[in-house]
Structure 1
Amino acid sequence: MNDVRVLVVDDDFMVARIHSGYVSRVPGFEVVAVAHGGADALAAVAELRPDLVLLDIYLPDMSGLEVLKSLNDVDVLMISAARDVATVREAMRGGAVNYLIKPFTAAALAERLRQYAETRRRLTAIGPQARQDDVDRLFGAPKQAAPMPKGLSRATCALVAEALRDAGGDLSAAEAAELTGLSRVSARRYLEHLCASGRAELHPRYGTAGRPEHRYRWLG
């Protein structure tokens, strides 16, 4: 994947330079330009088409929140000394992917940038259509554990989950049974439970004839 192209927007020339240095030290990110006002920021986005804008709120010609509302097809990470909840709420409503309060350390910004890069990676990996569990992982929704069916044990379920996770691809019930020492029927029941709980998914594999083979893949 190509580097994330970043536009840094801050009215303070020295602060903009410092923040640009922070960004440049994070692998996978590059600063493509720096702007010191709202109009300059909008012009730079239109010309350079960055992936991400680090946007200050207090700009000399307009509020960064106004700039945020005017931007399309670009992600925005707000950086500001503003701590009031109303401002944070407005940034969220405007579509900001994150909000970092000044002053902050290089490590704090790097953490947010890595989170952003991971979200981009997950979106790319999903493909053109998302399942609900894909969306839940992107938005950080907590998983609800499916109740353990009668006759299954959590210890054995953990064993099957470990085998599926370590496989690095997909497994059939027969392959999972061989890895865990279970019968194929028991292995299939545990695999089906993992699918029901959102930790695995079923992939039918179609051969030249007959019924498709059920393959199971770990989701985490």
Structure 2
Amino acid sequence: MIRVLVVDDDFMVAKVHSGYVERVTGFSVVGVAHTGADALRAVRDLRPDLVLLDIYLPDMDGIAVLRSLRADPSTVDTDVVIISAARDVDTVRNAMRGGVLHYLIKPFSAAALRDQLQHFAALQAKLARLSERREVSNQEDVDDVFAARPRGASVLPKGLTQQTAELVEQALRARPDGLSATECAQATELSRPSARRYLEYFADTGKADVRLRYGGTGRPERQYHWIGE
């Protein structure tokens, strides 16, 4: 059982995210913290395998919590996934430098978090197998561990990034009734051409369905609906 600590200043959001975790086979929530200080204390006391860490906390931000975890020998090995509404580049960059496994932008669906938890479980299984051998056999073993995506995931075309693709995916998942490129751009704060490129990529790879939405006048608008794998 993979033990998870949920850190969020909002009690209801923490409860929702805890529920998401508990639905995933092999995962269990061992604690919830609502401040940075409580999070650091909980990691030391509970020894979770994974921390779902918010950025906006009342006493210190999540990046400061992350740095404290990395500076403490007793918590340096704790894995962290950021879950936050923070979208500024500096925060994302500092999270990457702090060694987070992933960065999920709120709001996200249960399915989006489930995918990341399952990826984490697969990564732990790979590391466990490699540990039995004491060393990696070849470059492929290393690439498999360091890959930012699970094996078999689609390789993005040139000019598209994984982080933005996940942002557009979250927007699609949040709108089961579908959304247009204009609506996607508004939801993700991307330009309309950029949003459309990602939507068309998902349509081309079979992860999104395209339907035409007819208005009163003019050409019909392309409406994208998430299908998934």
TM-score by length of 1: 0.62
Q: Aligned residue for 1:112? A: 116
1:102 and 2:106 are equivalent in the alignment:
yes
Q: Aligned residue for 1:88? A: 92
Distance in 1 of aligned mates of 2:147 and 2:99: 17
Distance in 1 of aligned mates of 2:9 and 2:110: 19
Kindly provide the amino acid, as one letter, of the partner of residue 106 in structure 2: K
Which string of whole-angstrom CA distances, capped at 9 and with x for unpartnered residues, describes residues 63-117 of structure 1? 1000001111200000000111211111000010100000000000000100111
1:76 and 2:72 are equivalent in the alignment:
no
Distance in 1 of aligned mates of 2:92 and 2:20: 23
Distance in 2 of aligned mates of 1:24 and 1:138: 25
Which string of whole-angstrom CA distances, capped at 9 and with x for unpartnered residues, describes residues 92-149 of structure 1? 000101000000000000001001110110010112212322101112399xxxxxxx
Q: Aligned residue for 1:133? A: 140
SS at match of 2:93: helix
* Aligned pair partner of 2:43 in 42, 45, 53: 45
Kindly provide the amino acid, as one letter, of the partner of residue 42 in structure 1: L
Map of 1:118-157 to 2, 5 A cutoff?
Answer: 118-127=122-131, 128-131=134-137, 132-140=139-147
Kindly provide the amino acid, as one letter, of the partner of residue 79 in structure 1: I
Kindly provide the amino acid, as one letter, of the partner of residue 68 in structure 1: L
Kindly provide the amino acid, as one letter, of the partner of residue 94 in structure 2: E
Distance in 1 of aligned mates of 2:89 and 2:147: 22
List gaps (5 residues or longer) in structure 1.
Answer: 143-220
Q: What is the Cα-based RMSD across aligned positions, in Å?
A: 1.4
Kindly provide the amino acid, as one letter, of the partner of residue 135 in structure 1: V
Kindly provide the amino acid, as one letter, of the partner of residue 19 in structure 1: H
Q: Aligned residue for 1:184? A: none
User: After TM superposition, which residue ranges in structure 1, 4 or more long, deviate above 4 angstroms?
Assistant: none
Kindly provide the amino acid, as one letter, of the partner of residue 54 in structure 1: L
Distance in 2 of aligned mates of 1:130 and 1:60: 43
List gaps (5 residues or longer) in structure 2.
Answer: 70-75, 152-229
Kindly provide the amino acid, as one letter, of the partner of residue 47 in structure 1: D
Distance in 1 of aligned mates of 2:129 and 2:22: 25
SS at match of 1:27: coil
Distance in 2 of aligned mates of 1:41 and 1:140: 28
Compute the displacement of 1:26 (Å). Answer: 0.3
Distance in 2 of aligned mates of 1:140 and 1:88: 18
TM-score by length of 2: 0.59
Q: How many residues align?
A: 140
